[in-house]
Amino acid sequence: MELEKAIKERRSIRKYHKRDIPNSVIEELLELARYAPSSMNGQPWHFIVIKKESTKKQLAAIKNRYCPEEKRMYKADFMTDAALIIVVCVDKEKSYDREIENGILASSIILLGAHSRGLGSVYLSAYSADEPGISNEIRQILGIPSSVYPISIIPMGYPDEKLKPKELRPLTNLIHHERF
Amino acid sequence: MELEKAIKERRSIRKYHKRDIPNSVIEELLELARYAPSSMNGQPWHFIVIKKESTKKQLAAIKNRYCPEEKRMYKADFMTDAALIIVVCVDKEKSYDREIENGILASSIILLGAHSRGLGSVYLSAYSADEPGISNEIRQILGIPSSVYPISIIPMGYPDEKLKPKELRPLTNLIHHERF
């Protein structure tokens, strides 16, 4: 798929058909994610692919439990219906103090790569700067060592919803020349 | 350009030809960046496009001054030779506590969009969790209000270097099934 089309068409998808994603497709996606830039080319990523129903439920419960009040309209229950969930983690030792950047830049590629393969996905955070509980609970469920940071949670599946194109803020409100 | 080609070919470019980038190309790029996902669809972005030599020098000086010891092999002086620098910022009020995510996800699109237009760029951070000085100095130089967070700094220009393909860590070392 064309880059521009992938970027413009991609939406955050939270409803999925009951249909498996072939392992070969997941490998292609994670293969691609490795090409993300990383600080000092540390390539610090770990990708955990979760298909087990009970684990998906546990992750959804954590996301619901730590959901801030203003985001409660987006319940995390839908995660259980995803064909799979990818948890993107980074190894602190290979991250040069840029765990978050490295994790998000790879996640961004996963979102685009998924869309270009007809898959829907949505970016969810796996940590909170103010609340270490969320990362720690995810670590515990998935057996992630304390030196590895979970950064994002990406539920994925064949889309069972079609969203209207987003209304975007006009570029003139966002762009500044030389100074803010 | 094909999405896969853009992702696989893109490299972090730090040497640029002395050649301007047409404004129309910059607008196309920032137009694209608006399609990034954002928390609660807040679209909190501000993009500052800097072409002035003196501002580029000031930004390079800040990056050099705050550069941690282990990254000193990458001097920021090259920023002065970029045709322009885009500083990606986010409005805290529209970010739902996800300033960093929102900023990086848009930055990722700028890197890919730039490469697909024959432009080289590189991702640099505009903040440090442990050192508020860097963001504050950038704010001061660019007149950014305190409610707006600078997240990344993206120097850009027509590439004057050709890098060898990256050696990637094998996927088998990065992928985990069900648990870490």
Please report which confidence band the pLDDT of residue B72 belongs to, taking 50, 70 and 90 as the band edges.
confident
Average pLDDT over residues A26-35: 98
Q: Does pLDDT of A115 surpass 90?
A: yes
**Are A177 and B49 an interchain contact pair (Cβ–Cβ within 8 Å)?**
yes
The ipTM estimated for the assembled molecules is 0.97
Q: Which residue has the tokens 């987006």?
A: A74
B133 to chain A, closest Cα gap in Å? 16
pLDDT digits (tens, 9 = 90+) for B111-139: 999 999 999 999 999 999 999 999 999 99
- Domain hosting A154: range is 3-174
Q: Cβ contacts (< 8 Å) between A100 and chain B: which residues? A: 100, 104
Question: Is residue B57 domain-resident?
Answer: yes
Percent of chain A whose pLDDT exceeds 90: 94
Question: Is residue A71 domain-resident?
Answer: yes
Please report which confidence band the pLDDT of residue B3 belongs to, taking 50, 70 and 90 as the band edges.
very high
**Are B180 and A145 an interchain contact pair (Cβ–Cβ within 8 Å)?**
yes
- Whole-number average pLDDT of chain B: 97
**Are A1 and B1 an interchain contact pair (Cβ–Cβ within 8 Å)?**
no
Question: Is residue B179 domain-resident?
Answer: no
Question: Is residue A180 domain-resident?
Answer: no
Q: Does pLDDT of B12 surpass 90?
A: yes
CATH number at residue B29: 3.40.109.10
Q: How confident is the model at residue B74, as a pLDDT?
A: 87
Please provide residue B168's backbone torsions phi and psi, each rounded to the nearest 5 degrees: -100, 145
Average pLDDT over residues B30-59: 98
Give the residue on A whose Cα is nearest the Cα of B139: A180
Give the residue on A whose Cα is nearest the Cα of B48: A176
CA B115 to chain centre: 13
**Are B70 and A96 an interchain contact pair (Cβ–Cβ within 8 Å)?**
yes
Q: How confident is the model at residue B144, as a pLDDT?
A: 98
pLDDT digits (tens, 9 = 90+) for A124-171: 999 999 999 999 999 999 999 999 999 999 999 999 999 998 999 999
Average pLDDT over residues B66-85: 94
Nearest beta carbon to residue B30 from set A10, A122, A171: A171
Q: Does pLDDT of B73 surpass 90?
A: no
Q: Is the pTM of this model over 0.80?
A: yes
Please report which confidence band the pLDDT of residue A107 belongs to, taking 50, 70 and 90 as the band edges.
very high
Chain B stretch 130-169, residues whose beta carbon is closer than 8 A to a beta carbon of chain A: 130, 142-145, 148, 166, 168-169
Question: Is residue A179 domain-resident?
Answer: no
Average pLDDT over residues B167-180: 97
Q: What is the DSSP string of chain B?
A: -BHHHHHHH--B---B-S-PPPHHHHHHHHHHHTTS--GGG---EEEEEE--HHHHHHHHHHHHHT--GGGTTS-SGGGGGSSEEEEEEEEGGGTTT-HHHHHHHHHHHHHHHHHHTT-EE--EES--TT-THHHHHHHHHHT--TTEEEEEEEEEESB---PPPPPPPPHHHHEEES--
Percent of chain B whose pLDDT exceeds 90: 94
pLDDT digits (tens, 9 = 90+) for A59-92: 999 999 999 988 888 899 999 999 999 999 999 9
Chain B stretch 82-111, residues whose beta carbon is closer than 8 A to a beta carbon of chain A: 89, 96-98, 100-101, 104-105, 107-109, 111
Question: Is residue B180 domain-resident?
Answer: no
Q: How confident is the model at residue B176, as a pLDDT?
A: 98
A101 to chain B, closest Cα gap in Å? 7
Q: Region of B91 please: left (phi>0), alpha (psi -120 to 50) or beta.
A: beta
Question: Is residue A40 domain-resident?
Answer: yes
Q: Does pLDDT of B172 surpass 90?
A: yes
Please report which confidence band the pLDDT of residue A50 belongs to, taking 50, 70 and 90 as the band edges.
very high
**Are B128 and A97 an interchain contact pair (Cβ–Cβ within 8 Å)?**
yes
Please report which confidence band the pLDDT of residue A46 belongs to, taking 50, 70 and 90 as the band edges.
very high
Please report which confidence band the pLDDT of residue B19 belongs to, taking 50, 70 and 90 as the band edges.
very high
B101 to chain A, closest Cα gap in Å? 7
Residue among B177, B2, B121 nearest A84 (CA) = B177
Please report which confidence band the pLDDT of residue B60 belongs to, taking 50, 70 and 90 as the band edges.
very high
Count of domains in chain A? 1
